[in-house]
Amino acid sequence: MKLSYALLFLFCVFSAFKAEAQDLKRRAYLGLHATSLPDSLAKRHGLSNGLLVAGVAPKSTAETMGIRKGDVLLSINKRQLNKTSDLTELAKTLYPGQALATQLVQNGKRNSIKGTAIARPLEVAPNTEVVFSQVPFQDGLLRTITYKPRKEGKHPAILFIPGFPCRSIDDYGSSSYSQLVKGWSELGYIVMLVEKPGLGDNVNTPDCLQIDLYAEIEAFEQGLKGLQNLPEVDKENVFIFGHSMGGIIAPVLTQKYQLKGVMVYGSPYRPWFEFAADMFRFQKPVTGTDYVAHEETMRHLHHVLYRFFVLGQHPDTIATADPAYKKILQEEFQHTGGDMFWSRDYRYWQEIDELNLTKAWAETDEAVLSIWGEYDFEVVHAEDHKRIVEVVNHYHPGNATFLTMPKTNHSLIEVSGMAEGVKQMSKRDLQYNKSHFNTKIVTDTDQWMRAVMTTK
C-alpha cells in the first residue's frame, strides 16, 4: 500500500512538472472584430443568422482571405455564427495551417471564401529580448510575454496588470500599453505581461467573460510568482504597475507578497457603488447630454446601483422590477439578459465592490506611487489617488507619493482637455494614440523606482 501511494505521488509530481514545462502552441491569428447583425441588415438580405464585420486586423488570417469590414459572416468551417462568442470560441480551436471555408455576404452577394489559417506574428523589440512562455493556472496554462534587457546580469522587474477588458496581450500593438512596457524595458527593466484566462494562446482556462474577480487575481498572482522565479530578475527589486482595474488587484497581491513597490494609475479607491455613481454623474454632461435629462436618468441609476451593489441582485432581477431600470441596464451596462454586465460577468463587479480597498492599502507596506491623469474620464477626481497616499502614509509614514500626470487621459494619452480626451477615446484612432502617448509616464515612474531602490 505504501508503495502504491509513493508511485501515485511521483506520478502527480511528474504530471505537474510536465504541465509547467509544456510550451504553449501559437494559435492562428483570425484577426476579426465582429458585432451582432443589425435587424435592418438581416431583413435586407433575408438572413436568419450572421455577424457584421466591424474590423479586420492587418496581417491576419481574415485579411489574407479577403474578408473586409462591412461583410456579414454566416459560417466558418460549417459552424454557424449567431453571436460574437461563437467567433471567440472558434478562434480558440484554430492553429496555423488549418484549412478554412467561410460563407459570407460581401458587396450584397452571398459568397464562399477558402483559405489557410496563419500564425500571429511574434512581438519584437529592437534592444530587448521578447520571450514567450507560460505559467500554470488551475488545470491549464497562461501565456506570458516577458521583455528582457539584452545586457547580462540581474535586473529590476515589473509585473504589468491592465484594466478590466478581456483583451489579449497579443493585441497591444503600438498602443499606450505597448509603449509603456517597451519604454521600461529600454531603461533596463524586465517587464512581464500575463494573458487573462480564456484569451490568446492559453490552454484549458475558463472564459475571461465568465470568470470572477478572484480568478483574475489568481491569474496575475501566478504571473508574479513566475516573474520572481526568473533567474535574471533582481528579487529584491520587483514592482507592480496596475492600470485602472489593475490598480485594484495590485494592493490585494501586496498583502501576500513582499515587493519593492506598487504603482497605480487611474484606479478608484472607494467602493464601486459610490465610485460608479460619481463617475456617471460627471461623464454624461461632458459628452453633451442635457443636464435635466441626465438628472432624471441619475435618479433611476441610483436605484439600479443600489440594487446591484448593495443588495447584490442579479441584473435580470433588477430589469424586471421597473422598465426604467431595464432601459438603464441596456444603455449604460450593455445588459441584454443573462450574466453579462458591463462587458464582464456580473459577479466580477459585485466582488470589486465588496473589496475593502482601505484595508488593502493600509496593509501595503511597500513604497506606493499613486498616479492621476489630469483629464482622466474614468477616475475624474484626484481625491481617489490622494486618499490612497493618505491611507498608506497614515499606517506607513513616508511610503506613498502622489503624482499628477498633466493633460493625460485614462488611456495614458496626452490631450488638450477633458472633452478632447472623451472624443479620442470614442474615435479609437490608433495612430493618434501612438503619437500622443505621454512618455512622462515612463520617465517619471523610472525616476521614482530608482529612488525607491536606492533609499529603501
Residue 21 is predicted with a pLDDT of: 42
Position 85 in a domain: yes
Position 298 in a domain: no
Residue 17 is predicted with a pLDDT of: 35
Q: Answer yes or no: do 137 and 82 share one domain.
A: no
- Report the C-alpha gap between 416 and 130 in whole angstroms: 34
Residue that terminates a domain, selected from 48, 81, 116 = 116
Q: Containing domain of residue 98, as a range?
A: 32-116
CATH assignment at residue 365: 3.40.50.1820
Residue 22 is predicted with a pLDDT of: 52
- Report the C-alpha gap between 37 and 337 in whole angstroms: 17
Q: Answer yes or no: do 266 and 359 share one domain.
A: yes
Q: Answer yes or no: do 94 and 143 share one domain.
A: no
At residue 382, φ and ψ (nearest 5 deg) are: -65, -20
Q: Answer yes or no: do 189 and 253 share one domain.
A: yes
Position 172 in a domain: yes
Regarding pTM above 0.85, the answer is yes
Query: Mind giving me the DSSP string for 323-384?
Result: HHHHHHHHHHH---SSSEETTEEHHHHHHHHH--HHHHHHT--SEEEEEEETT-SSS--THH
Position 199 in a domain: yes
Residue that terminates a domain, selected from 116, 149, 183 = 116
Q: Answer yes or no: do 96 and 135 share one domain.
A: no
Q: Answer yes or no: do 100 and 141 share one domain.
A: no
Q: Answer yes or no: do 61 and 145 share one domain.
A: no
Cβ 197 vs Cβ 211: under 8 Å: yes
- Report the C-alpha gap between 188 and 300 in whole angstroms: 51
Residue 87 is predicted with a pLDDT of: 87
Q: Answer yes or no: do 362 and 435 share one domain.
A: yes
Collapsed DSSP state (helix, strand, coil) of residue 18: helix
The C-alpha cell at 51 is 455577424
Residue that terminates a domain, selected from 116, 140, 163 = 116
Q: Answer yes or no: do 103 and 154 share one domain.
A: no
What residue type is 439 in one-letter code?
T
- Domain total of the chain: 2
Q: Answer yes or no: do 147 and 208 share one domain.
A: yes
Position 284 in a domain: no
By DSSP bridging, strand 155-161 and strand 140-149 are unpaired
Q: Answer yes or no: do 175 and 206 share one domain.
A: yes
- Report the C-alpha gap between 357 and 340 in whole angstroms: 24
Q: Answer yes or no: do 369 and 441 share one domain.
A: yes
Residue 147's beta-bridge partner residues? Answer: 130, 191
pLDDT of the chain, 456 residues: tens digit per residue: 333 334 333 334 333 333 344 589 899 999 898 988 988 999 999 999 999 999 898 889 999 999 999 999 999 999 999 988 888 888 888 999 999 999 999 999 999 999 999 998 888 888 899 999 999 999 999 999 999 999 999 999 999 999 999 999 998 988 999 999 999 999 999 999 999 999 999 999 999 999 999 999 999 999 999 999 999 999 999 999 999 999 999 999 998 999 999 999 999 999 999 999 999 998 888 888 899 999 999 999 999 999 999 999 999 999 999 999 999 999 999 998 999 999 999 999 999 999 999 999 999 999 999 999 999 999 988 999 999 999 999 999 999 999 999 999 999 999 998 888 777 777 777 788 889 999 999 999 999 999 999 986
